[in-house]
């Protein structure tokens, strides 16, 4: 059985003393050769042996000093978008910053460092420069412990095949740990690969948007970049999340997915039915549904749709002039006199006459399900109907209030609104990059509803792409995932790769997601659909436990030194003994508390089914070729 040797680099470089002794021996044997005190073959042999041993000891000591010198870590690095393009020559690979592959020896070094004060063994970075290493130590003022990245003195550009990211990627880190910088790197590469890119940013990061705009300017056509912002609708595009569907029931399912969950699902089921009845009626009239029409006919009543649907049905099935028939005129007269029961006072006499004629004069085998459902809703007790749709109407109200109604329910015949009307199919066909801000800071409820509806529409689009065999890659980036997580997003993470969607989700803590989904088990189940994990600094213990569980365990050597001494029963008898024992135990590959000590922009990542890497992202400067006075955010 091959056993990994025990290594302890956090100590003085004793090998230097041995190298000095062998150097003295080398000089001595050379002197003996010159003085002819020993036969020349013997003296030269001894001198050569001393030289070999000296070089061996020097090599061993330099190895210890090099590892110790790297404990100063790496400072944050700023690169230009042009430099990033040079680092990503192959579009089939994803650049993950700079670092190294994490091996068991690095875990061993990290566990040993936890027992000592690393500053006692740090060496000046000048030594690394003398040895040919490029080093920029982490300043004391930066957040985090530098020695975590310093357990390996050599780092290189990190790449993984793009196909490894088909199963989705989770990016987790606390506030200001570097999630935005990581997303900026990944988004820029996706834009450069000519992917269709969709970014959902709840808080509208100006720096992130500027980086996306720069990437589009460098690698795409001028009109590629699209923006949506609820607070500034005039600056962006209009989005229609009810435009694309293969079956009318899909629209009801999308809205059901953003409704607040109830215990037994009764109210969400009623909400689905209410939306579906209106949608089916509008489709039968060849009228395209949207959110404004839905809330109009759900809150105000289905009467206008039902009346138009019945008139259309009678035009198709009854002889011409049916409005002047004896039966219809009789019913109209009875309705006008109040002889026919009306569900509400606002019901017109004409509508109640149409409904009565349909129920009494049209044979049951000629009835249509769409009309029957509308009549069922029409006859339903209005007070009870309002109660069972109470959870649906607030959602629709959020999405149709004020200027948001025109932005999410666009009217193509509105000549005063020149904003482009987009949907995910048009975005996909045009190869666009959509930066979708949700404005969650001032209005989190509306932001959550918009994001969830967008994901529901995208999930439906993924299913349509899969059914139709549409090729091409869509890169989806969701920041603050806990704000918008819903069942459609889980479906995207679970099956989206088959529809060509590569999802990257960023969040802060597992607790945020557990609150959104109702339990930690539900949160873990959702995150289980993400194959890759990039963990920046995390302070939340359950999140740390989730990360280290994902990374797995490795064998850690522990050395135990014992000494015993004592006197025997006979006078003058005394004994002593020393013992050294090395044990091996399975421990976490990364200690959980180390995740809370990571410097900004540094991360541990598991990709490619178990491959663990330690890396750091570089800050992208999108305005490197712009005069400082003209850069965004610069003082006037």
pLDDT in tens, 264-297: 777 888 888 999 999 999 999 999 999 999 999 9
State the Cα–Cα distance between residues 240 and 293, nearest whole angstrom.
Answer: 13
Q: Find the DSSP H helices in 528-623.
A: 541-551
Average pLDDT over residues 142-165: 89
The rounded mean pLDDT for the chain is 86
Residue 635 has pLDDT above 50, yes or no: no
Nearest to 7 by CA among 84, 126, 93, 106: 106
Alpha-carbon distance of 400 to 380, in angstroms, equals 25
> For residue 249, what is the enclosing H or E element?
helix 249-257
Q: Find all residues with CB under 8 Å of 467, minimum gap 6, and list them.
A: 246
Q: Which two tokens stand for residue 435?
A: 């930066």
**Cα–Cα separations (whole angstroms), residue 539 to 297, 532, 597, 602:** 48, 20, 8, 14
Q: How many CB atoms lie within 10 A of CB 606?
A: 22
Give the model's confidence band at 319: pLDDT under 50 very low, under 70 low, under 90 confident, else very high: confident
Q: Pick the residue with more confidence: 633 or 114?
A: 114
φ, ψ for residue 444, nearest 5 deg: -65, -35
168 HSE (CA, 13 A, CB side): 22
pLDDT of residue 1: 39
The pLDDT tens digits for 20-33 are 998 998 888 888 87
For residues 278 and 380, the answer to whether their CB atoms sit within 8 Å is no
Q: How confident is the model at residue 568 (pLDDT cuts 50, 70, 90)?
A: low
Say which residue the tokens 């200001």 belong to. Answer: 176
Percent of the chain at pLDDT above 70? 93
CA quadruple 414, 415, 419, 424: dihedral sign: positive
pLDDT at 134 over 90: no
What pLDDT, on the 0 to 100 scale, is given for residue 300? 85
pLDDT band of residue 627 (cuts 50, 70, 90) is low
Mean pLDDT value of segment 482-486:
87
Rounded Cα distance between 329 and 357, Å, is: 10
Question: What is the rounded distance in angstroms from the CA atom of residue 628 to the CA atom of residue 78?
Answer: 16
| pLDDT tens digits, one per residue of 330-387 | 888 888 877 777 777 777 888 888 889 898 888 889 999 999 999 998 888 888 888 8
pLDDT in tens, 27-82: 888 888 777 777 778 878 888 898 999 999 988 888 888 888 788 888 899 999 88
The predicted structure's pLDDT at residue 631: 54
The CB-side HSE value for 628 (13 A sphere, CA atoms) comes to: 1
Q: Which residue has the tokens 């959509």?
A: 434
What local confidence, expressed as pLDDT, does residue 2 receive? Answer: 45
Rounded (10°) angle between helices 349-361 and 326-336: 130
Distance of CA 60 to the CA centre of its chain: 44
User: Between 127 and 149, where is the model more confident?
Assistant: 149
| Greater model confidence, 20 or 569 | 20
State residue 634's pLDDT score: 42
Whether 636 has a pLDDT exceeding 70, the answer reads no
Torsion from C-alpha of 183, 185, 189, 190, nearest 10 degrees: 10
d(CA 426, CA 287): 20
User: Over 90: is that where the pLDDT of 118 sits?
Assistant: no
pLDDT tens across 254-268, in order? 888 888 777 677 788
How high is the pLDDT of residue 504? 94
What would the pLDDT profile of 223-254 be if each residue is shown by its tens digit? 899 999 988 887 889 999 998 888 899 999 88
Residue 155, beta-bridge partner list: none
Torsion of CA 180, 183, 185, 190, to 10 degrees: -150
Q: How large a percentage of the chain has pLDDT more than 90?
A: 37
Local structure of residue 5 (DSSP, 8 states)? P
Q: CB count, 10 Å around CB of 565?
A: 9
């Amino acid at each position: 059985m091959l056993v990994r040797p025990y290594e302890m680099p956090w100590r003085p470089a004793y090998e230097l003393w041995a190298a000095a002794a062998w150097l003295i021996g080398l000089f001595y044997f050379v002197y003996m050769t010159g003085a002819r005190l020993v036969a020349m073959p013997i003296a030269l042999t001894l001198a050569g042996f001393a030289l070999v041993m000296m070089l061996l000891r020097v090599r061993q000591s330099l190895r210890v000093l090099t590892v110790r010198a790297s404990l100063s870590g790496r400072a944050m690095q700023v690169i230009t978008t042009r430099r990033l393009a040079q680092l990503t020559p192959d579009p089939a690979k994803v650049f993950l910053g700079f670092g190294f592959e994490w091996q068991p020896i690095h875990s061993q070094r990290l566990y040993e460092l936890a027992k000592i004060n690393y500053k006692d063994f740090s060496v000046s970075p000048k030594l690394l420069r003398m040895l040919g290493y490029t080093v920029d130590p982490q300043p004391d003022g930066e957040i985090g412990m530098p020695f975590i990245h310093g357990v390996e003195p050599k780092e290189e550009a990190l790449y993984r095949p793009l196909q490894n990211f088909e199963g989705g990627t989770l990016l987790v880190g606390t506030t200001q740990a570097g999630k935005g910088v990581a997303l900026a790197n990944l988004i820029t590469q996706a834009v450069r690969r000519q992917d269709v890119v969709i970014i959902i940013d709840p808080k509208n990061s100006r720096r992130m948007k500027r980086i996306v705009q720069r990437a589009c300017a460098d690698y795409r056509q001028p009109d590629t970049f699209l923006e949506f912002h609820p607070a500034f609708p005039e600056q962006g595009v209009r989005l229609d999340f009810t435009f694309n569907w293969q079956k009318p029931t899909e629209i009801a399912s999308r809205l059901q997915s953003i409704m607040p969950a109830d215990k037994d699902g009764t109210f969400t089921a009623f909400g689905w039915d209410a939306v579906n009845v209106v949608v089916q009626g509008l489709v039968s009239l060849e009228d395209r549904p949207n959110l404004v029409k839905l809330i109009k006919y759900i809150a105000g009543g289905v009467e206008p749709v039902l009346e138009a649907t019945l008139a259309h049905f009678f035009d198709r099935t009854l002889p011409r002039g049916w409005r002047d028939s004896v039966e219809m005129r009789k019913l109209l007269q009875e309705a006008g006199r109040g002889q026919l029961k009306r569900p509400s006072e606002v019901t017109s006499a004409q509508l109640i006459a149409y409904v009565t004629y349909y129920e009494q004069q049209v044979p049951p085998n000629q009835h249509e399900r769409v009309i029957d459902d509308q009549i069922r809703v029409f006859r339903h007790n209005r007070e009870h109907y309002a109660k069972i749709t109470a959870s649906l109407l607030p959602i629709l109200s959020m999405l149709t209030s004020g200027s948001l109604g025109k932005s999410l329910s666009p009217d193509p015949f509105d000549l005063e609104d020149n904003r482009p009307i987009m949907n995910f199919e048009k975005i996909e066909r045009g190869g666009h990059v959509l930066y979708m801000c949700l404005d969650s800071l001032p209005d989190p409820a509306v932001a959550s509803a918009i994001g969830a509806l967008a994901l529901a529409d995208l999930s439906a689009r993924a299913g349509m792409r899969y059914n139709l065999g549409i090729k091409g890659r869509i890169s989806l980036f969701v920041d603050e995932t806990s704000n918008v997580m819903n069942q459609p997003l889980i479906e995207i993470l679970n099956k989206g790769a088959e529809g060509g969607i590569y999802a990257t989700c960023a969040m802060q803590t597992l607790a945020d997601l557990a609150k959104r989904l109702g339990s930690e088990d539900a949160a873990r189940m959702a995150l289980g659909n993400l194959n890759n994990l990039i963990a920046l600094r995390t302070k939340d213990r359950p999140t740390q436990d989730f990360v280290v569980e994902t990374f797995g365990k490795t064998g850690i050597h522990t050395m135990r030194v014992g000494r015993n001494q004592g006197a025997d029963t006979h006078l003058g008898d005394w004994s002593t003994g020393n013992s050294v024992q090395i044990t091996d135990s399975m421990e976490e590959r990364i200690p959980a508390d180390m995740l809370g000590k990571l410097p900004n922009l540094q991360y541990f990542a598991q990709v490619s089914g178990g491959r663990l890497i330690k890396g750091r992202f570089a800050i992208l400067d999108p305005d490197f070729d712009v005069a400082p006075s003209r850069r965004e955010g610069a003082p006037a």
